[in-house]
């Protein structure tokens, strides 16, 4: 089995964080150019890029439009600019440079086969790009190019690089404004929900499926809106390319994130939290608190304390309260705890009531069955003893309760529709034919007792 050639992309960290926007064909062409740079190169060359290689590398369909899309992408790259941030003597500055300086391509008529030998581009990086791509000894990011070949979105590729840069630290914080600026979409996705669904969640899915890292993220709010995102980065153990980068990294001096950059990121968190609790805690105190406890515990402590203040709770020492709460991995709000307890009791009571209503309904059905069987028995008795009905109706008229409902102007059938009259009528038959009615009672006695016992316990 032949050994597969592994190609790596190396970029200065400043270039990874540069502000620019490519479409997917521009990104594919630029990525292919990066893989042609050798570690020992001291100057850029004219790079020859064949269409068939792009199609093969990026697993694209072999069609006649591909070369034109690639050629159009190269032409657009001629107009693109990198906006690269850097700092000089404590002053933040921005360096602007074109991406490429020259392009030579075939002029085609009517479309040709993607495998044609003359379908290639000769393209050159702009000389000003040298410090960001050549002779990189420190402060650069390196990754196996296969991680991004199947990523379908330029945003996913950019987010992969930004997170890969901080993989060793394990997390990275961006304000929404900063991240959109880096991605070149400052004026797009004005609603955070759209940005989250179409960029962040899409990248999360893409990276988990195709690359050697994956991420989760926390939304950091200011007021009701999401202000920042904290990405938690971890290795994607299911990705087959994970170990290649680790092996290659041992052969070069890779300093992906200098300590100064990490300190700057920590300071960003301090600044953010100070906006919330600067009235009670200094930046120095917040920094010490973050050194002593995990960031999530500090955030939870601040959130809980501010929620109490908003409710009107009296807290004599707010700073002390935050410091004390930050010690706990989980903060249990006594008010919420009591609310949960009451809610649980209410749920149990509702479940008991629902069960009771079900049993009562079942008991009612049993009584209905008994009533139906008693009326059927009375019909049989009347057929056998024609005078039994008259005798029973005479007893109804003598019954004090039934006599109030009995109407002499109505027929017996009409009077028997009244519950009091019907009840007295049935009882009259029960007294004269007790043994036969007792059989019906005995049939359902155990079931009735069981239902009543279960209802009494609820």
The answer to whether residues 141 and 206 belong to one domain is yes
Percent helix / strand / coil, the chain, rounded to 5: 55, 15, 30
Residues 290 and 247 in one domain: no
* Phi, then psi, of 226 in degrees rounded to 5: -80, 125
How does 272-305 read in b/e, with b if 16+ C-beta sit within 10 Å?
Answer: bbbebbeebbeeebbbebbeebebebbbbbbebb
Residues 162 and 148 in one domain: yes
Domain assignment of residue 303, yes or no: yes
> What's the pLDDT score for residue 232?
95
Q: Distance (Å, rounded) from C-alpha 266 to C-alpha 275?
A: 15
User: What's the full length of the chain, in residues?
Assistant: 458
**105-159 pLDDT, tens per residue?**
777 645 555 556 677 889 999 999 998 898 887 788 888 888 888 898 999 999 9
- 295 shares its domain with 196: no
Residue at a domain's end among 81, 101, 136: 136
Q: Name the DSSP letter for residue 19.
A: B
Do 237 and 226 have their domain in common? yes
Confidence (pLDDT) at 265: 40
Residues 107 and 187 occupy one common structural domain: no
Same domain, 13 and 71: yes
In this structure, the answer to whether residues 238 and 162 fall within a common structural domain is: yes
Q: Are residues 331 and 362 in contact, defined by beta-carbon separation less than 8 angstroms?
A: no
Residue 59 falls inside a structural domain: yes
Structure tokens at 157: 């590729």
35 with 10: CB under 8 angstroms?
no
CA 383 to chain centre: 74
Tokens standing for residue 98: 């074109």
Tell me the C-alpha to C-alpha distance, in Å, between residue 327 and each of 13, 271, 299, 300.
36, 21, 11, 10
> What is the residue whose two structure tokens read 């797009």?
188
CATH of the domain at 169: 1.10.10.10
Alpha-carbon distances, residue 116 vs 26, 33, 75, 103, 359 (angstroms)? 21, 20, 20, 19, 82
pLDDT higher than threshold 90 for residue 181:
yes
pLDDT of residue 288: 87
What per-residue confidence (pLDDT) applies to 346? 86
Backbone φ, ψ for residue 219 (5° rounding): -95, 120
Tokens of 283: 């930046």
Are 119 and 189 within one domain? no
| pLDDT at residue 64, as a whole number | 65
pLDDT of residue 254: 35
The DSSP-derived string for 236-302 is -TT-TTHHHHHHHHTTS---SS-HHHHHHHHHHHHHHHHHHHTTT--HHHHHHHHHHS-HHHHHHHH
- Confidence check: pLDDT of 201 > 60: yes
The set of residues, in sequence order, having a beta carbon less than 8 Å from that of 123 and lying 6+ positions away, is 29, 33, 46, 47, 49, 74, 77, 100, 102, 103, 104
Of 82, 119, 115, which is closest to residue 100 (Cα–Cα)? Answer: 82
Task: Provide the pLDDT confidence category of residue 4 given band limits of 50, 70 and 90.
Answer: very low
Tell me if 17 is assigned to some domain.
yes
Does residue 344 sit within a domain? no
What are 220's strand-pairing partners? Answer: 228
| pLDDT tens per residue, range 233-248 | 999 887 766 655 455 4
Alpha carbon distance 14, 84 (integer Å) = 6
Residue 253 in this model has a pLDDT that exceeds 50? no
Is 112 within 8 Å of 119 (Cβ atoms)? yes
Is 407 exposed, middle or buried (CB count within 10 Å of its CB: 0-12, 13-18, 19+)? exposed
Q: What is the pLDDT of residues 28-81, one digit of tens each?
A: 889 888 988 888 888 999 988 888 888 788 877 666 677 778 788 888 998 999
> What pLDDT is recorded for position 54?
82
Owning domain of residue 98: 7-136
- What pLDDT is stored for residue 337 in this prediction? 66
Q: What angle do CA 175, 177, 178 make, to 5 degrees?
A: 65
pLDDT mean over 184-191: 90
- pLDDT of 113: 55
Q: Is residue 165 part of a domain?
A: yes
Instruction: Round to whole Å and give the CA distance between 269 and 246.
Output: 30
Domain count, the chain: 4
pLDDT tens for 305-358 read 988 888 888 888 999 999 988 888 776 655 566 677 788 888 888 888 888 899
pLDDT at 224 over 80: yes
408 shares its domain with 301: no
The tens digit of pLDDT for each residue in 263-288 reads 444 567 787 788 888 889 988 888 88
Cα angle: 54, vertex 247, 208; to 5 degrees: 60
Count of H helices and E strands in the chain?
20, 10
Instruction: Say how far apart CA 421 and CA 437 lie, in whole Å.
Output: 19
Instruction: Choose among 55, 57, 77: nearest CA to 9.
Output: 57
């Amino acid at each position: 089995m032949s050994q597969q050639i592994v190609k790596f992309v190396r970029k200065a960290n400043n270039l990874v964080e540069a502000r620019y926007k490519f479409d997917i064909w521009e990104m594919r062409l630029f990525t292919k150019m990066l893989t042609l740079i050798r570690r020992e190169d001291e100057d850029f060359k004219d790079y020859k890029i064949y269409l068939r290689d792009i199609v093969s590398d990026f697993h694209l369909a072999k069609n006649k439009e591909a070369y034109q899309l690639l050629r159009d992408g190269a032409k657009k790259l001629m107009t693109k600019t990198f906006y690269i941030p850097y700092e000089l003597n404590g002053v933040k500055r921005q360096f602007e440079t074109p991406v490429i300086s020259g392009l030579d391509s075939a002029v085609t008529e009517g479309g040709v086969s993607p495998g044609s030998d003359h379908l290639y581009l000769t393209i050159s990086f702009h000389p000003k790009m040298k410090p960001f791509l050549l002779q990189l000894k420190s402060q650069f990011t390196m990754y196996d190019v296969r991680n991004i070949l199947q990523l379908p979105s330029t945003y996913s590729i950019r987010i992969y690089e930004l997170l890969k840069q901080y993989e060793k630290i394990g997390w990275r914080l961006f304000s929404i404004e900063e991240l959109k600026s880096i991605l070149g979409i400052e004026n797009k996705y004005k609603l955070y929900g759209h940005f989250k669904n179409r960029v962040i969640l899409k990248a999360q899915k893409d990276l988990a499926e195709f690359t050697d890292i994956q991420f989760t993220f926390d939304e950091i709010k200011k007021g009701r809106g999401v202000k920042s995102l904290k990405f938690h980065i971890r290795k994607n153990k299911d990705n087959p390319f994970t170990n290649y980068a680790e092996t290659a990294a041992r052969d070069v001096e890779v300093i992906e994130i200098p300590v100064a950059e990490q300190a700057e990121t920590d300071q960003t968190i301090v600044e953010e939290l100070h906006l919330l609790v600067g009235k009670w805690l200094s930046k120095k105190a917040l920094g010490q608190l973050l050194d002593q406890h995990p960031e999530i515990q500090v955030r939870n402590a601040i959130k809980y304390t501010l929620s109490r203040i908003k409710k009107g709770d009296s807290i004599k020492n707010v700073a002390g309260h935050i410091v004390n709460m930050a010690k706990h991995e989980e903060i249990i709000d006594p008010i919420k705890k009591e609310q949960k307890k009451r809610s649980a009791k209410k749920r149990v009571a509702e479940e008991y009531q629902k069960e009771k209503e079900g049993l009562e309904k079942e008991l009612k059905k049993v009584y209905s069955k008994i009533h139906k069987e008693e009326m059927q028995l009375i019909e049989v008795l009347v057929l056998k003893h024609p005078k039994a009905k008259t005798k029973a109706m005479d007893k109804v008229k003598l019954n004090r309760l039934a006599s109030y409902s009995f109407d002499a102007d109505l027929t017996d059938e009409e009077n028997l529709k009244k519950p009091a009259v019907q009840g007295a009528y049935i009882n009259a038959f029960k007294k004269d034919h007790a043994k036969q009615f007792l059989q019906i009672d005995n049939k359902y006695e155990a079931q009735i007792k069981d239902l009543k016992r279960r209802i009494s316990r609820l």
